């Protein structure tokens, strides 16, 4: 059975524009998300589309839903939180259902965590054993006797 969402999917596949669902886990730094607007103010979608098209390093396409806009970006250039904050500051009304709020919070958290982790130096896994061994040697424990050898009683 053909519905509007299935028709858009087939159209995008035919044009080579197939996009994964925005909630599917996405590895790497390139993110494909969908910004959803309040269904009662659907007239905002074309205005928001034009505004987002002016941003550098941001790909914009029609969303999977009539009240959505699909965006694609590198998280080093943009974040979903930044894009939504821009839209809210300009007076646009985003979808405000409980589901949308939960998804929004999850995406914000994962992008922020990924950015923070990208700023950390990589852990040297091969050297980690040496670090712990070195620390163990200098830590007082049961295998260490501070008594000089000449004062030890051997039996």
Q: Which residue has the tokens 């059975």?
A: 1
If you ran DSSP here, which 8-state letter would residue 36 be given? E
Domain presence at residue 87: yes
What is the band of 87 on the pLDDT scale with cuts at 50, 70, 90? very high
* Cα distance between residue 85 and residue 52, in whole Å: 12
* Cα distance between residue 52 and residue 33, in whole Å: 13
Q: What share of the chain is helix, strand, coil (3-state, %, to 5)?
A: 45, 15, 40
Domain presence at residue 32: yes
Three-state DSSP at 91 gives coil
* Cα distance between residue 12 and residue 18, in whole Å: 5
Torsion-angle region of 139 (φ positive above 0: left; ψ -120 to 50: alpha; else: beta): beta
Identify the CATH number of the domain in which residue 89 sits: 3.30.70.100
Domain presence at residue 54: yes
Q: Which residue has the tokens 């929004």?
A: 104
Give the mean model confidence (pLDDT) for residues 75-88.
Answer: 93
Domain presence at residue 10: no
pLDDT of residue 17: 59
What is the band of 54 on the pLDDT scale with cuts at 50, 70, 90? very high
Number of domains in the chain: 1
How far from 51 is each of 46, 48, 83, 90, CA to CA, in Å? 9, 5, 10, 10
Domain region containing 58? 22-118
Domain presence at residue 90: yes
69 phi and psi angles, rounded to 5 deg: -130, 125
Domain presence at residue 14: no
**Mean pLDDT lowest among 48-52, 87-91, 101-105, 116-120:** 116-120
Domain presence at residue 80: yes
Domain presence at residue 82: yes
Neighbours of 100 (CB within 10 A): 13
pLDDT of residue 89: 95
* Cα distance between residue 62 and residue 49, in whole Å: 8
Q: Higher model confidence: residue 6 or residue 108?
A: 108
* Cα distance between residue 20 and residue 26, in whole Å: 9
């Amino acid at each position: 059975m053909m519905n509007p969402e299935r028709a858009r999917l087939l159209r995008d596949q035919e044009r080579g524009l197939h996009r994964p669902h925005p909630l599917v886990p996405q590895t790497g730094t390139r993110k494909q998300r969908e910004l959803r607007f309040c269904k009662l103010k659907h007239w905002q979608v074309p205005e928001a589309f034009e505004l987002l098209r002016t941003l550098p390093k941001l790909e914009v396409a029609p969303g999977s839903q009539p009240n959505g806009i699909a965006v694609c970006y590198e998280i080093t250039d943009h974040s979903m939180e930044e894009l939504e904050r821009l839209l809210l500051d300009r007076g646009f009304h985003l979808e405000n259902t409980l589901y949308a709020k939960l998804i929004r919070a999850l995406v914000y958290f994962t992008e922020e965590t990924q950015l923070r982790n990208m700023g950390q130096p990589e852990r040297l896994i091969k050297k980690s054993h040496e670090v712990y061994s070195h620390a163990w040697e200098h830590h007082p424990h049961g295998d260490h006797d501070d008594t000089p050898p000449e004062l030890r009683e051997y039996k």
